[in-house]
């Protein structure tokens, strides 16, 4: 920590925002619109962070788009739901700040910026049995956004995680992804439409292989970035903060490293930390997350290395929930820089997740966070769960995509890359043979599959209740009866891929109050310092209430922090 005045400031702004994800951009826009001079800095040579790589969904209870779609919600339903699922882990003040401000933030961005979202009326809250839950509407999907509006600036946007793209290239919205991956009504026509839209976009193809019809996280970041460009809000790339500067106990700026030189940036009204979690930092993972853990298991931006948390700690900030992440089972694909989360695959009928005894340990169709919590909770020497295995049969393989593989009907096994055929995808004509390949107890696997086949016929899973809630069924195959999440695993060959306890980002970090101010151990705030997004301990506690429950808070607390720093 530097306590003193750097002799000369290289640059002075009102609000310095460290990071360039959706929360950082929201903070920058809000501060600017309140008359402040804002600056965003980004450590890497690409802006957008995990926000750009993501689904771009925002979970906003009681939002105005629900009202337009005539889906009822209220602050009291939102309170019932959030207070139930967070189960005392988060203060009432912070939860209320989220419930009260998130709809206002959304309305503000919808009215004043290029942000355009759509409600997902069937995307249920992740805990449908909790009081105040909704069968849909709180999760919002970014509309498509034309990258041409950004000009060359688009090329500096971080790429979408390939798991969110068709064939690693073509954009689809969250709604379209569900239709295609679960083979919902019209999926073939939709697939053709999106593929042709990409292929026939010939002038743009000369410019970039990237699809310009952005969706998901790239669309969200594109809309916010264009809104920054309209306002002339600067964003410095390749500029990483490494130390906060303090004067008389107040944070007044930061030392930043820009292409080999150190600059002193003064922030008259506040510094907003928005530098993501520590998912890319193996040392911090090993220290704080449950064991085992690996930076290879993250789907997120590898540049998120806990810098903001370290900078806060250096000033005596308090940290919380460091053992938590936005968990989900992931597959690590040879040759790919990021893991892929098995969001849909785990719920589709004809698959089952087993431990190394060949036994199930969870409702595979439950939230991704719950699947990983069960993985860690059940990982015992006598029943190892890490890795677990997603096992499926030829029918599943032929119908559905899985990890990087298209459905077998589009991409038969012989057309898979060699690395997939020789190691990544295990395959055998018998369950016993498959068990031998993955080192799983053959009798255990055979017993589990026999039970799953019985459950598929009855439509009831008495062990883990798979397919019983709206959320489970959201990623089931509606054509499969009686339970869209259960089908027999009976047609050889049989397949398996490994599943690891990965995440979309960590969610423990600097403790903040309802105004996003960073707190010390004694509960007092550090004047001038704010933290939002995954460098702050999440307002969602250890749970994942619905799709968009990480970006909803990042943008909302970005808005809150900027308003607090720049009162009018």
Minimum CB distance to ligand FAD smaller for 23 or for 404: 23
Closer by beta carbon to ligand FAD, 120 or else 489: 120
Least distance to ligand FAD, CB of residue 399, Å = 23
> Is position 271 an interface residue for ligand FAD (rule: CB under 6 A)?
no
Question: Distance between CA atoms of 361 and 377, rounded to whole angstroms?
Answer: 9
Quick check: 25 binds ligand FAD (CB under 6 A)? Answer: no
The only residue of 15, 33, 57, 284 in contact with ligand FAD, by rule CB under 6 A = 57
In angstroms, what CA-CA distances link 400 with 329, 456, 475?
18, 17, 11
Given the complex with ligand FAD, which of 25 and 394 has the nearer CB atom?
25
Taking the C-alpha atoms of residue 66 and residue 378, their distance in angstroms, rounded to an integer, is 39
Report the residue from 456, 554, 562, 566 that binds ligand FAD according to the rule CB under 6 A.
554
Look at residue 171 and give its three-state secondary structure.
Answer: strand
Site string for ligand FAD, 161-200 (x = CB under 6 A): x-xx------------------------------------
Residue 8 burial by CB count (10 A; 0-12/13-18/19+): exposed, middle or buried?
exposed
CB of 406 to ligand FAD, least distance (A): 18
Query: Binder to ligand FAD among 82, 300, 319, 480 (CB under 6 A)?
Result: 300
CB of 446 to ligand FAD, least distance (A): 35
141: three-class secondary structure by DSSP: strand
Q: Which is nearer to ligand FAD, 346 or 360 (CB)?
A: 346
Complex with ligand FAD: residue 163 or 369, whichever CB lies closer = 163
Residues with Cβ within 8 Å of 514's Cβ and at least 6 positions away in sequence, in order, are: 91, 93, 94, 96, 97, 560
The DSSP 8-state label assigned to residue 113 in this structure reads: S
> Looking at 13, 29, 38, 42, which residue binds ligand FAD (CB under 6 A)?
42
The answer to whether 449 contacts ligand FAD (rule: CB under 6 A) is: no
Closest contact distance (angstroms) between CB of 436 and ligand FAD is: 33
Contact between 555 and ligand FAD by CB under 6 A: the answer reads no
State the SS3 of 237-255.
CCEEEEEEEEECCEEEEEE
Please report whether residue 20 would count as binding ligand FAD according to CB under 6 A. Answer: yes
Q: Is residue 117 involved in binding ligand FAD (CB under 6 A)?
A: no
Going by the DSSP 8-state scheme, the letter that residue 160 receives in this structure is: P
401 near ligand FAD, rule: CB under 6 A: no
The single residue among 145, 198, 326, 392 that binds ligand FAD, judged by CB under 6 A, is 326
Per-residue buried b or exposed e for 204-215, using 16+ beta carbons within 10 Å of the residue's own CB:
beeeeebbbbbb
| Number of residues counted as binding ligand FAD (CB under 6 A) | 43
Return the SS3 of 388. Answer: strand
- Angle, alpha carbons 149-560-77 (nearest 5°): 100
* 62 is a contact residue toward ligand FAD (CB under 6 A): no
Q: How far is the CB of 48 from ligand FAD (least distance, A)?
A: 6
Compute the CA torsion angle 26, 30, 35, 40 (nearest 10 deg): -20
| DSSP alpha helix (H) spans, 54-139 | 64-68, 75-86, 92-112
Cα torsion 499, 503, 369, 474: sign: negative
Terminal-to-terminal C-alpha distance of the chain: 31
d(CA 221, CA 233): 14
Angle between the 92-112 and 551-565 helix axes, to the nearest 10 degrees? Answer: 90
Q: Which of 17, 19, 83, 263 binds ligand FAD (CB under 6 A)?
A: 19
Instruction: Rule CB under 6 A: choose which of 534, 542, 560, 566 binds ligand FAD.
Output: 534
Sheet strands (E) in 274-349: 319-320, 325-331, 340-341
The 303-322 contact track toward ligand FAD, x by CB under 6 A, reads xx--x---------------
> What H or E segment, with its residue span, contains residue 460?
none
| 372 is an interface residue for ligand FAD by CB under 6 A | no
Of the pair 43, 466, the CB lying nearest ligand FAD is at 43
Which residue, 73 or 243, has its beta carbon nearer to ligand FAD? 243
Interaction site with ligand FAD (CB under 6 A): 18-21, 23-24, 41-44, 49-51, 53-57, 161, 163-164, 240-241, 274-276, 299-301, 303-304, 307, 326, 504-505, 533-534, 547-551, 554
């Amino acid at each position: 920590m530097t306590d003193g005045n750097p002799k000369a400031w290289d640059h002075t702004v009102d609000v310095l925002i460290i990071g360039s994800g959706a929360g950082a951009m929201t903070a920058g826009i809000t501060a600017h619109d309140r008359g402040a001079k804002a600056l965003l800095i980004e450590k890497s040579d690409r802006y957008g962070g995990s926000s750009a790589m993501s689904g771009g969904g925002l979970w906003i209870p009681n939002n105005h788009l629900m009202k337009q779609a005539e889906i009822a919600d209220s602050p009291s339903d939102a309170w019932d739901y959030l207070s139930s699922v967070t189960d005392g882990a988060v203060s009432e003040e912070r939860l209320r700040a989220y419930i009260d401000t998130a709809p206002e933030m959304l309305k503000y961005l919808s009215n004043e910026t290029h942000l355009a979202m759509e409600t997902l009326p069937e995307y249920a809250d992740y805990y449908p049995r909790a009081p105040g839950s909704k069968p849909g509407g709180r999760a919002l999907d970014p509309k498509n956004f034309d990258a041409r509006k950004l000009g060359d600036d688009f090329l500096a946007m971080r790429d979408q995680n390939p798991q969110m793209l068709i064939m690693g290239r073509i954009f689809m919205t969250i709604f379209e992804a569900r239709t295609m991956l679960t083979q919902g009504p019209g999926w073939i026509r939709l697939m053709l439409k999106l593929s042709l839209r990409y292929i026939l976009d010939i002038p743009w193809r000369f410019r970039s292989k990237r699809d310009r019809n952005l969706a998901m996280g790239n669309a969200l970041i594109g809309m916010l970035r264009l809104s920054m460009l309209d306002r002339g809000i600067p964003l410095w790339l390749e500029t990483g903060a490494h130390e906060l500067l303090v004067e008389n106990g107040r944070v007044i700026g930061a030392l930043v490293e820009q292409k080999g030189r150190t600059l002193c940036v003064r922030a008259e009204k506040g510094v907003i930390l928005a530098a993501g979690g520590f998912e890319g930092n193996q040392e911090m993972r090993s220290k704080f997350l449950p064991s085992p853990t690996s930076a290879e298991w993250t789907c997120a931006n590898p540049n998120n290395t806990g810098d903001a948390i370290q900078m806060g700690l250096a000033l005596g900030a308090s940290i919380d929930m460091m053992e938590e992440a936005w968990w989900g089972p992931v597959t690590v694909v040879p040759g790919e820089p990021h893991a892929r989360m098995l969001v849909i695959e785990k719920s589709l009928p004809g698959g089952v997740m087993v431990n190394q005894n060949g036994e199930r340990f969870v409702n595979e169709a439950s939230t991704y966070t719950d699947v990983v919590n069960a993985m860690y909770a059940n990982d015992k020497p006598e029943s190892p769960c890490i890795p677990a295995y997603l096992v499926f049969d030829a029918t599943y393989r032929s119908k559905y995509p899985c990890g990087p593989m298209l459905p077998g009907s589009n991409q038969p096994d012989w057309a898979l890359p060699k690395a997939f055929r020789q190691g990544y995808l295990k395959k055998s004509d018998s369950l016993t043979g498959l068990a031998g390949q993955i080192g799983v107890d053959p009798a255990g696997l055979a017993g589990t599959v026999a039970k799953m086949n019985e459950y598929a016929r009855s439509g009831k899973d008495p062990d883990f209740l798979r397919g019983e809630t709206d959320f489970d069924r959201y990623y089931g195959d509606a054509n499969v009866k009686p339970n869209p999440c259960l089908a027999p695993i009976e047609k050889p060959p049989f397949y398996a891929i490994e599943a690891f306890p990965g995440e979309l980002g960590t969610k423990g970090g600097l403790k903040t109050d309802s105004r996003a101010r960073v707190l010390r151990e004694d509960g007092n705030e550090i004047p001038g310092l704010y933290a939002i997004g995954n460098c702050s301990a999440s307002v969602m506690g250890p749970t994942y209430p619905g799709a968009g429950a990480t970006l909803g808070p990042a943008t909302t607390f970005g808005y809150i922090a900027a308003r607090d720093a720049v009162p009018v």
